[in-house]
């Protein structure tokens, strides 16, 4: 509260000097004299630049808050809700995203494997195990840079209907740069980070993400890396 009074004072003095503020030399001279106007201009510039840059940084890219860590995955239950946090709403607005509503489904993303190492396109991973109860789910390779133009778009993901399962209903997807038997998910590019998205459609867990645990989501294990 104390800070606002000199702040308001600084503002008025800055406006008084505003017409000439464009001239760099004048500001420099003010700065050398370290007058109130110079300090006020510095304060305002610092506030505007830092504030806008940090707001831009926080709302570009992924959601900064609201994720619930479940094993290697991060669930985003509130991304599409009307009471989402302001950062999530700003991110959605900037990207034109239409997030899944709570009654529709749940989005989980993974950028690292079970051991916490970032997913790399040059490595081979096994994604397997069980999924939370849902009417349908899809596991897809999502974003982080464009696809290699030379690479034919073979497959971007698996749906719960088309994935090959073992007799007990579990499945194992192999994310690898080279052709693999079974459920092969081709790496989107030769090198670089990879992100996976697991979307559960029409699922009861969207309303109670706290009930999810490590054993109910697919595990992501690194099998090896190309040299």
Partner 1 sequence: MRPVSLRFVYATLVGLVLAGIVHIAAVLVIPGLSEADAVSRARTSENLDHPQSIYTVATGDDPSPPEAWLPIPDPAVAVGVCAYNLADGPMRVSARTGPLSLSLAAHARRGAFYAVTDQAAVRGALDLVILTRAQYDEALADDDENDPSRDVRIVAPDARGFVVVRVIAGLPSQRPAANAAVQAVSCTTDTPSDDAPAGKDASGKDASGRGAGR
Contact positions with partner 1 (CB under 8 A) in 99-128: 99-105
The SS3 assignment for 156 reads: coil
In sequence order, what are the beta bridge partners of 222?
125
The SS3 assignment for 222 reads: strand
CA distance 158 to 42: 54
Instruction: Print the SS3 string covering 111-149.
Output: CECCCCCECECCEEEEEEECCCCCCEEEEEECCCCCCCC
CA distance 160 to 162: 6
Residue 154 sits in the site that holds partner 1 (CB under 8 A): no
Residue from 81, 122, 172, 226 binding partner 1 (CB under 8 A): 81
| Nearer to partner 1 (CB atom), residue 142 or residue 226 | 142
Structure tokens at 78: 């509130």
Residue from 6, 133, 204, 210 binding partner 1 (CB under 8 A): 6
Residue 16 sits in the site that holds partner 1 (CB under 8 A): no
Residue of 153, 141, 150 lying closest to 198 (CA atoms): 141
Please identify, among the stretches 18-26, 115-123, 156-164, 207-215, the one whose residues bind partner 1 according to the rule CB under 8 A. 156-164
Residue from 19, 22, 24, 96 binding partner 1 (CB under 8 A): 96
In sequence order, the 6+-apart residues with CB closer than 8 A to the CB of 41 are 14, 17, 21, 27, 30
Please identify, among the stretches 87-95, 113-121, 184-192, 213-221, the one whose residues bind partner 1 according to the rule CB under 8 A. 87-95
| Nearer to partner 1 (CB atom), residue 18 or residue 93 | 93
Residue 207 sits in the site that holds partner 1 (CB under 8 A): no
Structure tokens at 190: 């030769």
For residue 125, the minimal CB distance to partner 1 (Å) is: 19
How many Cβ atoms sit within 10 Å of the Cβ of residue 28?
11
Residue 95 sits in the site that holds partner 1 (CB under 8 A): yes
Residue from 69, 117, 159, 211 binding partner 1 (CB under 8 A): 159
CA distance 80 to 89: 8
Task: Let me know: does 188 contact 123? Beta carbons within 8 Å.
Answer: no
Residue 143 sits in the site that holds partner 1 (CB under 8 A): yes
| Nearer to partner 1 (CB atom), residue 50 or residue 223 | 50
| Nearer to partner 1 (CB atom), residue 71 or residue 99 | 99
Contacts to partner 1 by CB under 8 A: 3, 6-7, 10, 34, 39-40, 42-52, 54-56, 58-59, 80-84, 86-87, 89-90, 92-105, 135-136, 138, 140, 142-143, 153, 156-157, 159-162, 197, 199, 201-202
């Amino acid at each position: 509260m104390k800070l606002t009074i000199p702040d308001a004072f600084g503002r008025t003095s800055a406006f008084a000097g505003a017409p000439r503020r464009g001239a760099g030399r004048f500001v420099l001279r003010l700065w050398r004299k370290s007058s109130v106007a110079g300090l006020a201009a510095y304060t305002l510039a610092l506030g505007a630049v830092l504030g806008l840059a940090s707001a831009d940084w926080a709302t570009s890219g992924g959601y900064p808050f609201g994720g619930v860590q479940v094993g290697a995955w991060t669930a985003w239950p509130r991304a599409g809700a009307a009471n989402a946090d302001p950062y999530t709403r700003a991110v959605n607005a900037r990207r034109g995203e239409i997030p899944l509503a709570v009654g529709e489904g749940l989005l989980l993303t993974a950028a690292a494997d079970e051991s916490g190492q970032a997913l790399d396109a040059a490595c081979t991973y096994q994604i397997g195990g069980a999924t939370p109860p849902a009417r349908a789910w899809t596991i897809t390779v999502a974003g982080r840079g464009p696809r290699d133009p030379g690479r034919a778009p073979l497959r971007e993901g698996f749906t719960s209907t088309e994935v090959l399962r073992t007799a007990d209903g579990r499945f194992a997807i192999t994310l690898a740069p080279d052709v693999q038997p079974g459920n092969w998910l081709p790496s989107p590019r030769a090198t670089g980070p990879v992100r996976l998205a697991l979307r559960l459609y029409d699922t009861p867990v969207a309303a109670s993400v706290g009930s999810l645990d490590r054993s109910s989501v697919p595990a992501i294990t690194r099998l090896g890396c190309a040299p």
